[in-house]
């Protein structure tokens, strides 16, 4: 039934109006075909045709509601005054016309038509029975038709508003979903960049040092190859974890999902970097405490990316990693004594919080790693600064992360 009603509602309005006209024609035909009292007015073909003429304007009730009403009234007046044919229990066509006028016409037209029709009702009743009963009944049915038209107008306006709001919510949800997908793609890109860039950089440095070590210190060559293998295995394990999260085929075995590396894994990361050449120092100051897992993962990735840049681009001999635990923030500083910004083969130059240097930091990659660091810091309400190291030498990465000191999770280790 609901589907049928929806099809009727969406049908061509012209066919709807034609069907309504035929329905009114059937209703007004009944007094002409039922048995009649011989003393009643005769049911002639002329009267029937004139009655039909009063129904025809319903076909154009939407296009010209006011003209349609006057056409019905004119035909009805001629029918009553000239022919005096069979009477009708209700003025069907004029009632439909009043309903349509209340639904479609503006207020000034409705007011003018209301005054005009009220006067016509008084005149019609006066020419017919002149009784208060007939007058009240006529006023009631026409007022009811008008009220139904206004109610339908309100209902349609409400439906349009609801549909517009639903469409707006759908667009907002679609935009939000697209933005969420874009954020997730950016996050995955950062993770894969950090994992692969760090692992490949360490492996390249170790591989380049391998032939030299084979000639001069074979035992160091074996350690270099072991470091290459260990770095590759670690990178593969982290990639499997990320790809397992992305997998959508439930029929396949889901890859194991290990926790993201955190601050506790930093010593292992630093040891791996030491094996590739530079000396790396590590220091933690302030009230060392446990932090949320997401924040610890960010600290690990920031240090990893900064160390990767130092190994790949700066040619540093010494790198310092420092974590400062403040009352409401954690400051991560990674500084090296390498070439520094603007002296290597990078694609850009500049220092300071807003700069993304090419040499000593971004290198040929165009600073994507530093962009990722800034995005990670912003995700935790923090900031990232890049520039020369202490004394203007080398390169320094300084990231301040809001550590939610008031959070019980953040203070669990205090």
Does any domain span residue 269?
no
At residue 362, does pLDDT exceed 70? no
Does any domain span residue 157?
no
Print the domain residue range for 379.
279-414
Average pLDDT over residues 227-239: 71
Alpha-carbon gap, residue 387 to 350, rounded angstroms? 8
Average pLDDT over residues 4-20: 74
Average pLDDT, the chain: 79
First to last CA, the chain: 67
Does any domain span residue 258?
no
What's the pTM?
0.50
Does any domain span residue 247?
no
Average pLDDT over residues 105-132: 90
Cα 204 from chain centre: 44
Where a domain ends, among 130, 165, 185? 130
CATH number at residue 352: 3.30.565.10
H/E stretch holding 227: helix 218-246
CA distances from 102 to 87, 107, 148 (A): 26, 9, 8
What's the pLDDT at 369?
75
Does any domain span residue 389?
yes
Does any domain span residue 94?
yes
pLDDT digits (tens, 9 = 90+) for 67-91: 999 999 888 888 877 777 787 888 8
The count of structural domains within the chain is: 2
pLDDT digits (tens, 9 = 90+) for 245-256: 566 555 444 445
Where a domain ends, among 130, 152, 185? 130
Where a domain ends, among 106, 130, 154? 130
């Amino acid at each position: 039934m609901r589907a049928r009603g929806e099809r009727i509602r969406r049908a061509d309005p012209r066919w709807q109006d034609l069907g309504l006209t035929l329905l009114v024609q059937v209703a007004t035909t009944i007094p002409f075909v039922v048995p009649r009292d011989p003393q009643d007015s005769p049911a002639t073909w002329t009267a029937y045709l004139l009655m039909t003429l009063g129904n025809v304007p319903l076909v154009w009730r939407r296009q010209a509601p006011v003209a349609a009403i006057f056409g019905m009234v004119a035909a009805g007046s001629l029918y009553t005054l000239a022919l005096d044919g069979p009477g009708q229990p209700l003025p069907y066509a004029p009632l439909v016309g009043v309903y349509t006028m209340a639904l479609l016409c503006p207020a000034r037209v409705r007011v003018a038509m209301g005054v005009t029709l009220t006067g016509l009702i008084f005149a019609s009743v006066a020419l017919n029975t002149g009784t208060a009963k007939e007058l009240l009944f006529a006023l009631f049915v026409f007022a009811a038709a008008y009220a139904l038209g206004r109610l339908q107008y309100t209902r349609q306006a409400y439906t349009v508003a609801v549909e517009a709001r639903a469409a707006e919510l759908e667009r907002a949800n679609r935009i939000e979903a697209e933005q969420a997908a874009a954020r997730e793609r950016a996050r995955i890109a950062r993770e894969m960049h950090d994992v692969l860039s760090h692992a490949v950089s360490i492996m390249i440095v170790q591989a380049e040092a391998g032939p030299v070590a084979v000639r001069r210190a074979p035992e160091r060559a074996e350690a270099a190859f072991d470091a290459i293998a260990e770095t590759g295995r670690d990178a593969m394990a982290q990639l499997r974890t990320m790809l397992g999260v992305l997998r959508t085929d439930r029929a396949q075995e889901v890859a194991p999902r290990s926790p993201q590396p955190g601050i506790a894994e930093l010593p292992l990361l630093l040891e791996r970097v030491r094996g590739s050449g530079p000396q790396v120092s590590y220091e933690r100051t302030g009230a060392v405490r446990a932090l949320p897992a997401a924040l610890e993962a960010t600290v690990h990735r920031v240090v990893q990316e900064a160390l990767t840049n130092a190994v790949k681009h700066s040619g540093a001999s010494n790198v310092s990693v420092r974590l400062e635990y403040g009352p409401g923030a954690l400051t991560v500083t990674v500084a090296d004594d390498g070439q520094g910004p603007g002296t290597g083969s990078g694609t850009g130059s500049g220092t300071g919080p807003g700069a993304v240097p090419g040499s000593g930091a971004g290198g040929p990659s165009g600073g994507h790693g530093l962009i990722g660091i800034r995005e990670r810091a912003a995700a935790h309400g923090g900031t990232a600064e890049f520039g020369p190291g202490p004394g203007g030498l080398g390169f320094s990465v300084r990231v301040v992360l809001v550590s939610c000191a008031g959070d019980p999770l953040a203070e669990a280790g205090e």
